[in-house]
Amino acid sequence: MRPRAAAALAVLALAATAVPATPAAGAGTAPGEIRPPYLYLEGPPGTVLEDTLSLTNPGHRPLTLPLRATAPWVTFAANPVTVPPRTRAEVPFSVTVPADAPPGDHAGALLAGEAVTVPVRVRVGGPRLAALTVEDVRVTGGAVRYALVNRGNTVLAPRLAVRAEGLFGQTLRRAERPLPLRLRPGQRAELSEPWPDRDRPPLDRVTIRLSATAGGGARAEAATTRTFGAGGAAAGTGALLAAVVARWLVRRRGRGARGADG
């Protein structure tokens, strides 16, 4: 026995002047009243959910309506559908949830004609997993660029903290803050943090570390290392080593002087 959807009926009242039984190319539909405002279906992976879409034509001419779905896994029993005048047509449809469908909410809509839309939410049962990764961290131009990827099956609202530590101390620190985006399961977002040249050290080897968190216990961290110095990578590295040695000698002499005074 196939489980039926939680919401049993969507009634669309379509204007009588919308589309004739044999519409001309490009003809559209004019929406009337929509009840209920959305459909909600729920079931575990591997099941088939069934429901009925009711199309009501209150006018004096037949309406021929193409049906389509932006909601996942939807199949209509008939498409297109012709609704006689002052008649309601019942159109069964099914939602086949794949066996490997991730648990969580999947949103979309059913569309009749060009202008009538019924939002649909399909909730797939199972354990919910919040998982997040930070990937492809790099410093290019005047920014730290990176990607956030939702590796779980829940929608995430990530937060991000940034810090950079060099041989001569901390060079960048931004406290954790919410990012202006929501990541759907499987979604990847390419993002950047501004870090202009004037705020970077002229000579240092710096590790830039990004830490991301989200609800449900999702945590991720990634880092990259960048050497700053004039004259190319080799020259910059040589100058950096010389600067490190010079700093070490200054510190050693300072300690020696303090010891002699004692």
> One digit per residue, pLDDT tens: the chain, 262 residues?
344 433 333 444 443 333 333 333 233 343 334 444 678 999 999 999 999 888 888 889 999 999 999 988 999 999 999 999 999 888 999 999 998 888 888 889 999 988 778 899 998 988 888 999 999 999 998 999 999 999 988 889 999 999 999 998 989 999 999 999 999 888 999 999 999 989 899 899 999 999 999 999 999 999 999 998 855 444 445 555 555 544 544 455 555 555 555 5
Q: What is the pLDDT of residues 98-134, one digit of tens each?
A: 988 888 888 899 999 887 788 999 989 888 889 999 9
Task: Write the burial class of residue 54 (CB in 10 Å: 0-12 exposed, 13-18 middle, 19+ buried).
Answer: middle
**Which region, left, alpha or beta, applies to residue 186 given φ > 0 means left and ψ of -120 to 50 means alpha?**
left
Q: Which two tokens stand for residue 234?
A: 């080799």
How confident is the model at residue 215, as a pLDDT?
Answer: 93
* Cβ pair 199, 155 in contact under 8 A: no
Sign, CA dihedral 187-70-53-115, equals positive
Backbone Cα Rg of the chain = 30
CATH 2.60.40.2310 in the chain, residue ranges: 4-124
Q: What is the CATH number assigned to the segment(s) 132-257?
A: 2.60.40.10
CATH 2.60.40.10 in the chain, residue ranges: 132-257
How confident is the model at residue 150, as a pLDDT?
Answer: 95
How confident is the model at residue 113, as a pLDDT?
Answer: 86
* pTM beyond 0.75: no
- Look up residue 99 and give its DSSP letter: T
Statement: 4-124 belongs to CATH 3.30.70.890: no
Say which residues have a Cβ less than 8 Å from residue 213's Cβ, sequence separation at least 6.
132, 158, 159, 176, 219, 220
How confident is the model at residue 32, as a pLDDT?
Answer: 39
Q: Which two tokens stand for residue 88?
A: 């309601």
